[in-house]
Structure 1
Amino acid sequence: MRTQVAIIGAGPAGLLLSRLLTLQGIDSVVLENRSREYVEARIRAGILEQHTVDTLIEAGVGDRLRREGLEHRGIYLQYPGTRHKLDFPELCGRTVWVYGQTEVTKDLIKAQLDGGPPLIFDVSGVVLKDVATHHPRVHFTDAEGTPQVLECDVIAGTDGFHGVSRPVVQHGTNGRVWERTYPYAWLGILADAAPATDELIYAWHPEGFALYSMRSPTVSRLYLQVDPTEKIENWSDDRIWDNLATRFALEGWELSTGTITEKSVLPMRSFVSAPMRHGRLFLAGDAAHIVPPTGAKGLNLAVADVTILASALVRLLQENKTDLVDSYSDRALARVWRCTHFSWFMTSMLHRSGDDFDAELQLSQLRRIAASEPAARELAENYTGLPLDL
């Protein structure tokens, strides 16, 4: 087999990269070690920055997003007795959209299989060869058990933290890793309950953080701060709703409840791997970085990565110019670290840990954002998405 760009991983990053390259006349093949059904069922983030929405629309995969997605013009910051709205258009002229990563993935897969480049599921034994040369290769076994070799000009590693791509870059460059594990986790639920709020609510509470999000006009997505050692079987539906009601409590407002259809405990950590390139192998998305979900940055960072990378690869493969691929890692990492900081800031400000001294510092920060337009604007600009190149 022969292609210009071999893409490892059929998550949103890999699929969108393939789509962006196709629109510029660059051939690609996407390899995925899971089934289509598994990939389309993965529950992930649901907040899309303005740039992400614009990119998906321009790539021709935004029709359902515009039809079914929910545009949001702000968020609420809550602490006991106060719920303060940040108006994003007023503060920075942008909005965000609620549209699940699962739905983004389905849209991209549909476009890929509808006359797009090859997308091969259920592969195994993926090995990357000769990545430091101009003729890298990918060895793998297909779903029928037949060994295959994919020759290419470039490999894009969009196969996540546990994929095969990142270790190759780390080993080949003696790269560096930064990691922060947070002393709390999220208990997340999906519920058949109409949202009782027009915007997301980020709530600080003495008993722990809570987030009120949504997936549709009839489905709510809610989270509770819990200890990382918590077992999901210890949380009955009644216990979850009682804790949510306590942490979102506000005079004159009532929590909507309904049937819980999914629940899980999600660990919280930050991870950055540098560089994001070794020879003709380039990393993007979770293969290079992970952020806690508080800042709603994971999927959006992946989209930013592949948007930058697509332009660089087009310039390399069509014009034989290396300036953009040579600067890719530094350019991408500048944005990665800014978003990693914002995610850390939101996480540290809203989650209870430490003593009452820390709690008062958190409340002071929340009151500052509620009272100061420059402080509110800084949060809004980061939340809705900074420019690709910083």
Structure 2
Amino acid sequence: MSDPIRIAILGASGYTGAELIRLLGTHSRAQLAILTADRRAGQTLGAVFPHLAHVPAPPLVAIDDVTDWSGVDVVFCCLPHATTQSVIAALPDHLKIVDLSADFRLADVDVYAQWYGGPHKAPELQKSAVYGLTELARPEVAAARLVANPGCYPTGPHLALVPLIESGLIDPDGIIIDAKSGVSGAGRSAKEGLLHGEVSEGIHAYGVASHRHSPEIEQALSRAAGRSVMASFTPHLMPMNRGILCTMYVQAHENADAATLLAKLAVRYKGEPFVKILPEGTTPHTRHVRGSNLCLIGAVNDRVPGRVILVSAIDNLVKGAAGQAVQNMNVMMGLPETDGLSQYPMFP
């Protein structure tokens, strides 16, 4: 029997930490070694997440109380942005790290400072970080020590748009991304704007023309185009727990249409276990991916000549966070990519 992979989850009491524990519970080799959560230190996993009470796990501890990392192979960081940099910089070199915060996603530390309100605290470490959307960077992820897990909002647009820009089938300029997310994307902390009475029976845009995922989206689109690209991105908060639906408006080149774009994506993602291309004229629902690591992509010809509407759907806590992180860990450790991620979507 293969040796277990010993896991530490920093910030284990949030929604993303819970999803990591749920997914790793079915992983063939994962063993939970350390769970940190400062406000929940001393509590059992079952006390924090009753639905995970049966999972073998150590009690939660404060991160400052962890002094011995010799019994750990992989660290998942689920800490708030601007805190992870210092924590990761202090970790021993033998550890493989998947960071689920925004701290290492932006290659340009000056862009990070502009959007996150302060200088990057580990610029040298940033140089070695790999942006880990597995389907688009598998060789780099396999060789990495530190992987920056993509943000939930950029994941669907990157998977849908990057291959089409690289192939010259769509105009990189003028892309519009209309995104809608469930409330779990805002985290588990108590916030007035996320109370049931504030969110239910309504929908609203937020971070309009100023959301922090904008430069992350544009970073990948610019790399695909080989030049600077800007996109219009507007997120909306929906009265649902999980899911992100992104509707993307693009201008196709020459005689390309929805069928052309879907055919290119089908070739690009042939054999991929988690990215599925739908038949022309079919668009995904968030309910079709709930609880899974899937990304579904569909496309329809717009009534406006030459324009195509692409739609992607993911579960923001799985392919948009914890599932993508486990997928990256599998690649980093040379394991089957689907290990711990074979769950089918839950419906209804």
TM-score under structure 2 length normalisation: 0.32
Which structure has the greater CA radius of gyration? Answer: 1
Q: Which has the higher helix share?
A: 1
> Quick check: which one's strand share is greater?
1
